[in-house]
């Protein structure tokens, strides 16, 4: 087991060496021609920064607060399915690593361990939800995660149907455990456990009333959708294309983010994910208006390489890299990372 894990673009190749090929392919997969998947990291490399100088950066503070939860850095573990493919303890190990790093776990609705068991190992966590055709199944799950201590629900809305992916799993090469049982209840109708494709924004208030928890909506790429969700009661927006695993050829989240931030106008936090591989990427995302980012595959690679300690090390590395980038950009706190850090060509006196 490797314990030192640096955030960066070579992590996937390192993880390939320790994962069985089917599991690696499942985690790595995109959809269609993988255009969205391939473009995602480059989106964060496009903007050019205008760093401040002569600001006191002798100490840099990466901490932030998200819906009342204090975080060591604005980097959160995205909901990703089936962590048992990476390590036998699955999400229990992830939860430990995330908690040790002072971060927040968003537990996938397709976790390979039961939420109550993960909650025991976790620090602060949110529960990602899919609304299934059989509402009773979703309602029961929502009650369970609320009782287990989730601080918020994350409703994923970009998957009314699951897109076939290039390298889809055949029979699960592991004990899908509790999730397997939950998703194969013979008492329910055959399509009961498929995602409900008829959802509208009204579902947000229903979930809030059912759980008593704030609801964030994940999978937003357009400002009008973001606004509709906020008006329907969403308490956070997550700009995401599901790691390039749903509709292919959608725009990079780095480009979708600024108009969403503008439309939401500070009413609720806006988070973003997709191809965020380094602390410098995090700085760019924050400068483009995000309150925090989520990282999906990097956490899976770290989990495979180093278990809980690997996840902790990865998150520390994002934080260190962000801290260094903030210092060089003249931003001693995350509040100092403002949109004018990004060169647009429209600044006063700056030729286009
Ligand atoms: C293997 C894998 C499984 C995923 N499972 C879920 C899921 O169960 N629910 C969900 O909302 N998003 C899921 N996602 C999407 C992630 O939450 C996130 O949007 C995406 O991974 C971010 O991109 P990144 O992997 O480049 O960081 C999954 C992504 C991957 C790679």
Ligand 1 interacting residues, C-beta cut-off 6 A: 27, 40, 78-81, 108-110, 128, 156, 218, 240, 242-243, 245, 273-276, 295-297
3-state secondary structure of 69: strand
Q: Residue-wise over 302-311: b if at least 16 C-beta within 10 A, else e?
A: bbbbbbbbbb
- The burial class, CB within 10 Å (0-12 / 13-18 / 19+), for 156 is buried
Residue whose CA lies nearest to ligand 1 atom number 1:
27
Tell me the C-alpha distance between 34 and 289, whole Å. 26
Instruction: Say what percent of the chain tops pLDDT 70.
Output: 91
How does pLDDT run across 316-330, given as a tens digit for each residue?
A: 999 999 999 999 999
The mean pLDDT of 30-41, rounded to a whole number, is 97
Are 83 and 23 within 8 A, CB to CB?
A: no
pLDDT at 274 over 50: yes
Counting ligand 1 atoms within 8 A of each CB, the residue from 19, 29, 41, 81 with the most, and so the one to mutate, is 81
* Model confidence pTM above 0.85: yes
**Arithmetic mean of pLDDT over the chain:** 93
Q: Which of 228, 214, 282, 284 is nearest to 260 (CA)?
A: 228
Are 236 and 214 within 8 A, CB to CB?
A: yes
What's the pLDDT score for residue 190?
72
Rounded distance from Cα 15 to ligand 1 centre (Å): 17
The mean pLDDT of 7-25, rounded to a whole number, is 97
What's the pLDDT score for residue 1?
60
Are 166 and 26 within 8 A, CB to CB?
A: no
Tell me the C-alpha distance between 262 and 6, whole Å. 33
Rounded distance from Cα 165 to ligand 1 centre (Å): 13
Q: Which CATH architecture has domain 11-340?
A: Alpha-Beta Barrel (3.20)
Q: Which residues does 47 contact at the CB level (< 8 Å), separation at least 6?
A: 254, 284, 287, 288, 342, 343
What's the pLDDT score for residue 191?
83
């Amino acid at each position: 087991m490797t314990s030192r894990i640096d955030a960066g673009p070579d992590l996937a190749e390192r993880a390939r060496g320790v994962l069985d090929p089917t599991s690696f392919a499942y985690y790595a997969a995109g959809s269609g021609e993988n255009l969205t998947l391939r473009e995602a990291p480059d989106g964060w490399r496009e903007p050019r920064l205008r760093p401040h100088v002569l600001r006191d950066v002798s100490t840099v503070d990466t901490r932030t607060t998200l819906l009342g939860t204090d975080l060591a850095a604005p980097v959160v573990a995205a909901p990703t399915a089936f962590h048992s493919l990476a390590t036998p303890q699955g999400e229990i190990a992830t939860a430990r690593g995330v908690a040790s790093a002072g971060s927040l776990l968003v537990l996938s609705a397709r976790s390979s361990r039961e939420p109550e068991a993960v909650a025991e190992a976790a620090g602060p966590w949110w529960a990602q939800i899919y609304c299934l055709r059989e509402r009773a199944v979703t309602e029961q799950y929502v009650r369970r995660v609320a009782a287990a201590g989730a601080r918020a629900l994350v409703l994923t809305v970009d998957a009314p149907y699951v897109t076939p992916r290039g390298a889809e799993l055949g029979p699960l090469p592991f004990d899908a455990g509790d999730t397997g049982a939950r998703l194969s209840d013979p008492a329910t109708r055959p399509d009961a456990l498929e995602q409900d494709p008829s959802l509208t924004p009204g579902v947000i208030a229903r979930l809030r009333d059912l759980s008593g928890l704030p609801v964030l909506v994940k999978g937003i790429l357009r400002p009008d959708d973001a606004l509709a969700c906020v008006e329907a009661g969403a308490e956070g927006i997550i700009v995401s294309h599901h790691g390039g695993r749903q509709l292919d050829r959608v725009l990079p989240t780095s480009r979708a983010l600024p108009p969403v931030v503008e439309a939401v106008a500070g009413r609720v936090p806006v988070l973003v994910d997709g191809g965020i591989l380094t602390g410098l990427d995090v700085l760019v995302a924050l400068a483009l208006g995000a309150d925090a980012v989520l990282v999906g595959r990097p956490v899976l690679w770290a989990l495979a390489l180093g278990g809980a300690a690997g996840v902790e090390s990865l998150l520390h590395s994002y934080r260190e890299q962000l801290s260094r980038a903030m210092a060089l950009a003249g931003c001693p706190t995350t509040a100092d990372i403002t949109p004018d850090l990004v060169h647009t060509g429209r600044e006063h006196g700056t030729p286009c």
